Amino acid sequence: MKSELLTWIEKAVKEREAEILEANDKIWGYAELPYEEEKSSALLCGMLRKEGFEVEEGAAGIPTSFVARAKAGDGKPVVGILGEFDALSGLSQKAGCTAKAPIVNGAPGHGCGHCCLGTGALAAALVIRDYLVENGKSGTVIYYGCAAEEGAGAKQFMARAGLFQDVDFVYTWHPSSRNEVQNHCSVAIMGANFEFFGRAAHAGGSPHLGRSALDAAELMSVGVNYLREHMIDKARIHYAYVDAGGTSPNVVQDHSKVKYEVRAPKVSQMKELFERVVKVAKGAAMMTETEMKYEITMAFSDYVPNDTLAKLAAECMAEVGAPSWDERDYELARGFLNSYDPATLETIKEGIAETYGANRLEEIMERPLDDQVHPYIEGVHEYESGSTDVGDVGYAVPTLNVNVASCCIGNVGHTWQMTAQAGSSLGHKGLLTAAKALALSAIRTMESPKTIKKAREEFVRRTGGVYHCPLPEEVKPPVGRY
């Protein structure tokens, strides 16, 4: 049976639906890359100021990050809501179009649905504030505008700056193909730019006088490839050449730059593996008689769900239910699912059969939208290979992420398909459902001192209660140079 509180929240979200969806579609259209989200950030800040929130821009030295506060009564307890709004490069795509059709070839697109994440979270923050005021309750709502999750991140810099210090708990969400409180963990990650400096020479006439920085970068790649056999199964190492030293093969390249990212379940494991990568880079420089320097550009802590918050949020999600899909939504989702190439689609089918049961494969392929809320299994926290700076918030304050279906079952993230869905009815219904789930979970938590206390105790047991940033203190947000 639906509670009076949920009925109130549904009405409040409905009243704001038009402005929230308009904001989503504008941010979807801006599709701004990490640290460049000027229009998106300004739009959200403007909406919050209009609603009476006190907005501080430039949070933690990041121009497009901000903190917006609204206080009622004595201001206690304090809930934080995380919002993101950055896009990904090369994923431009027409909204709701199930065939690849970039709006601008090579332009960015919201291939992870962060336009939905930011506006759904905004709706929740506004509704929570309205509830406090209308019912004469005390509390503070803080909306954190978090830039560059797809880049070098913002939340770890915000946590290091103490911006979560007086917050009792934090909720956030992410667009997904499933409706659930996230029970899996994300892994820690550290990224750095490695530069090699050599000596230019004529590659044909006097190669003995040259010292190739490109050779050094390639030898580093070889060394890291051998390293892969000797690291834990859950670890990952990725790389990309930023500068190969030029395009003339008859010149010994005197400069090269390669970007590396190292992932592992725990921060300690990630740091240990990163140091081994650094040693490989030093060895490559020695072999080529070049010089090497590296700059750490980013690092995220691992994310672990707070079980106390999770149990309450799971009950709230079950009460809210899945998005209300109609036949047009199912038809649209089916089009996106069938847009993948045959090999990818076969892999997706295997995953569906494993997750939902082989007997439901045909049914789900025909109607590929999650129409149920999946139960949360307490204490089962397997690590998956993705990373997010939400993990750093979880090491600063009790934190929980929930997933809400905003795309087809089997969706592959960071693709043009996700960009198209984020700007369609699927993304719209997902973000509105997320707003209700976040608002209900936050209000119920605020009205339960016992839950807040227990969540804090669990947080302290796991983290020691003190945030330790995985980045060295001298590393600043790489705005304009990531």
Distance CA 16, CA 70 (A): 18
* pLDDT value at residue 168: 98
Neighbours of 78 (CB within 10 A): 20
* pLDDT value at residue 185: 94
* pLDDT value at residue 118: 98
* pLDDT value at residue 163: 98
Query: Is the predicted pLDDT of residue 247 greater than 80, yes or no?
Result: yes
* pLDDT value at residue 372: 96
379 pLDDT band, cuts 50/70/90, is confident
382 pLDDT band, cuts 50/70/90, is confident
Distance CA 292, CA 157 (A): 27
* pLDDT value at residue 87: 98
- Which residue in 439, 432, 436, 440 sits closest to 18, CA to CA? 432
482 pLDDT band, cuts 50/70/90, is confident
Distance CA 314, CA 130 (A): 23
* pLDDT value at residue 1: 72
* pLDDT value at residue 480: 86
Which long-range contacts link 103-111 to residues 24+ away (Cβ below 8 Å)?
107/31, 108/31, 108/32, 108/33, 109/31, 109/416, 109/419, 110/27, 110/28, 110/31, 110/418, 110/419, 110/422, 110/423, 111/87, 111/413, 111/414, 111/415, 111/416, 111/418, 111/419, 111/422
* pLDDT value at residue 386: 87
Query: Is the predicted pLDDT of residue 457 greater than 90, yes or no?
Result: yes
What is the average per-residue pLDDT within 40-66?
98
* pLDDT value at residue 378: 86
* pLDDT value at residue 416: 98
User: Tens digit of pLDDT for each residue in 285-309?
Assistant: 999 999 999 999 999 999 999 999 9
* pLDDT value at residue 125: 98
* pLDDT value at residue 406: 98
Range of lowest pLDDT (33-42, 220-229, 273-282, 378-387): 378-387
* pLDDT value at residue 255: 98
Query: Is the predicted pLDDT of residue 254 greater than 80, yes or no?
Result: yes
- Which residue in 80, 88, 16 sits closest to 428, CA to CA? 16
User: Tens digit of pLDDT for each residue in 162-215?
Assistant: 999 999 999 999 999 999 999 999 999 999 999 999 999 999 999 999 999 999
The helix/strand/coil state of 414 is coil
User: Tens digit of pLDDT for each residue in 218-230?
Assistant: 999 999 999 999 9
User: What percentage of residues in the chain have a pLDDT greater than 90?
Assistant: 97
* pLDDT value at residue 20: 98
User: Tens digit of pLDDT for each residue in 313-358?
Assistant: 999 999 999 999 999 999 999 999 999 999 999 999 999 999 999 9
> Domains in the chain, please, with CATH?
4-186+302-463 (3.40.630.10), 188-299 (3.30.70.360)
| Alpha-carbon distances of 276 from 186, 223, 227, 228, 279, rounded to whole Å | 22, 10, 8, 11, 5
Mean pLDDT for the chain? 97
Say if residues 116 and 1 touch (Cβ distance below 8 Å).
Answer: no
Query: Is the predicted pLDDT of residue 380 greater than 80, yes or no?
Result: no
* Order of strands across the sheet that contains 255-264: 236-243, 255-264, 188-197, 291-300
Query: Is the predicted pLDDT of residue 63 greater than 90, yes or no?
Result: yes
